[in-house]
Amino acid sequence: MNCSDPTRGVRSRAVGALAALAATFALAAGSAQAATIVINNLNAAGVGFNDTTPAAAVGGNPGTTLGEQRLIAFTYAANIWGANLTSAVPIVINARFSALTCTATSAVLGSAGATQVFRDFAGATRPATWHSYALSNKLFGEELLETPVAQINANFNVNLGQANCLAGSPFYLGLDNNAGTAVDFVATLLHEMGHGLGFQTFTSGSTGAFLAGFPSIWDHFLTDDTLSRTWVEMSAAERAASAIRPRTLSWAGTNVTTAAPSVLTPGTPTLQISGPAAGPVTGTLLIGTAAFGAPIAATPVSGQVMPVVDQPNGAGLACTTLSPANALAVRGNIAVVDRGVCGFAIKVKLVQDAGAIAAIVVDNVVGSPPPDLGGVDPAIVIPSVRISLADGTALKAQLKRRSRTVSGVVGSLYVAGSQLAGANPFGRVYLFTPNPFQSGSSVSHWDTSTTRNQLMEPSINSNLTQSVKPPEDLTVPLLKDTGW
């Protein structure tokens, strides 16, 4: 048997060092077959899980302080995982709240990953292959280390919702999946624990190098559709190239492929650009869909594509009521706005109020495919999508020759074909492989095109459930493919 500290292992979004043990909170699973999860609370007195700030009961969470409510939510999420896994060895999680990267409009919610990986132990599903610590213990049937340590490290953003950290969107600590515009802490916990349980590769996606020369169990299931080979069959250079080919890397595990038709919806949300002035933009653009508003449907929503222009540099932020000229331009048409300054739902609601029939949000950072649009507003009734900065720049270049109400560029939003949303023609579900590579996100998440939205996408979606299994979610089938 061999073990290693997976210092290069992909962790969700960010990884922080852990402090000394401050308190221990244990969760015993509800049945003899279920896994037992032990939560080590590493926060100091008065901080994070020990925060004594008074709190009113919310969404079925009866805690009387902020720290107590956080621990109750953690217990609730751990119960969900414990009921869906079996292991004779308790799963120990080191957890704390601390300051993580964030701005006023974006934030790292949390991070987690396995603390050790093991290979060539009795019960391993494949030889010469790294398995996460918790999975290794489960397969071996007892603790692998003479001096056990926590199998998972987890860290959560203590500043979320403050003015400089995704302002106005704190963690929602209720247990009822009713977060609204806040961030569901239970869903965040389920996501991060999923990584620690083994929803990650320990192979470097940026270089393609195996950890200490050996693949992870994850790599046996990663299939590049361009090369028709798995990651264990490729060279390091081929793996690095595969990690930045959008929507070509799929999961070949039987459990996921079998479950996918019961979880994902048939048909691919599509943005088709045409018209006499479309020029080089003519064709189908990669899109991210919105968690709010009307879903894209089989019946097309079509119209002239018209930009909002409200900035001196020609951009259209659409963060305040549209001017008469912009309102005239988008009325009855598909509005194009730029990402930035305010939330996506605010922009789409404002162009809807001006009479737009749909909205296209142009990203403001380089990368493809474009992520989904997060946000909540029940008053939005039009569809909206995000496109990449490159596609948006090309599209807006074609719109420069427009009149006040006609551009000659036509957009159509519709669901195409019967292929599962987020899967390839063979029904294998795509992994997240954006270009450029995103450390901490690439490869070790589902692609953002999966519909319904999945727990293990790189960013949280407001329409997630708190389920980890079909018919809502594919996380449990994937973990079962790896040996759980």
Question: pLDDT per residue over 284-336, tens digit each?
Answer: 999 999 989 999 999 999 999 999 999 999 999 999 999 999 999 999 999 99
In tens, the pLDDT along 232-272 reads: 999 999 999 999 999 999 999 999 999 999 999 999 999 99
Residue carrying the six token digits 């080191």: 94
CA-based torsion, 425, 429, 431, 435: positive or negative: positive
461 confidence band (pLDDT: 50, 70, 90): confident
Domain 267-420 matching CATH 3.50.30.30: the answer reads: yes
Average pLDDT of the residues in 382-409: 96
What is the pLDDT at residue 4? 63
Q: Is the pLDDT of residue 426 over 70?
A: yes
What is the pLDDT at residue 1? 65
- Buried/exposed 384-402: b ≥16 CB within 10 Å, e otherwise: bbbbbbbbbebbbebbeeb
What is the pLDDT at residue 374? 87
Looking from the CA of 313 toward its CB, the CA atoms found within 13 Å total: 4
Average pLDDT of the residues in 33-44: 92
**E-state strands within 59-116:** 91-98, 110-114
User: Counting beta carbons within 10 angstroms of the beta carbon of residue 34, is it exposed (0 to 12), middle (13 to 18) or buried (19 or more)?
Assistant: middle
Average pLDDT of the residues in 88-108: 94
- Cα separation values, 311 from 324, 386, 402, Å: 15, 20, 18
Peptide bond into 369 cis (omega under 30): yes
* Token code pair at residue 89: 């060895």
Which residues neighbour 108 within 8 Å (Cβ) at sequence distance 6 or greater? 13, 14, 100, 101, 102, 157
- Cα separation values, 306 from 300, 327, 399, 411, 415, Å: 17, 10, 7, 10, 22
DSSP 186-233: HHHHHHHHHHHHT-S--S-TTT-PPBTTB-BGGGGTEEETTTTEEGGG
pTM exceeds cut of 0.85: yes
Q: Where are the domains of the chain?
A: 2-197, 217-263+422-482, 267-420
Peptide bond into 371 cis (omega under 30): no
H/E element holding 413?
strand 410-420
What is the pLDDT at residue 28? 36
User: Counting beta carbons within 10 angstroms of the beta carbon of residue 229, is it exposed (0 to 12), middle (13 to 18) or buried (19 or more)?
Assistant: middle
What is the pLDDT at residue 34? 85
**Which amino acid is it at 245?**
R
In tens, the pLDDT along 105-132 reads: 889 999 999 999 999 999 999 999 999 9
Percentage, residues of the chain above pLDDT 70:
93
Average pLDDT of the residues in 73-87: 97
Q: Is the pLDDT of residue 31 over 50?
A: no
What is the pLDDT at residue 156? 98
In tens, the pLDDT along 144-182 reads: 999 999 999 999 999 999 999 998 899 999 999 999 889
**Residues β-bridged to residue 361:** 337, 386
Can you tell me the distance from the alpha carbon of 336 to that of 315, in angstroms, rounded to the nearest whole number?
10
What is the pLDDT at residue 104? 86
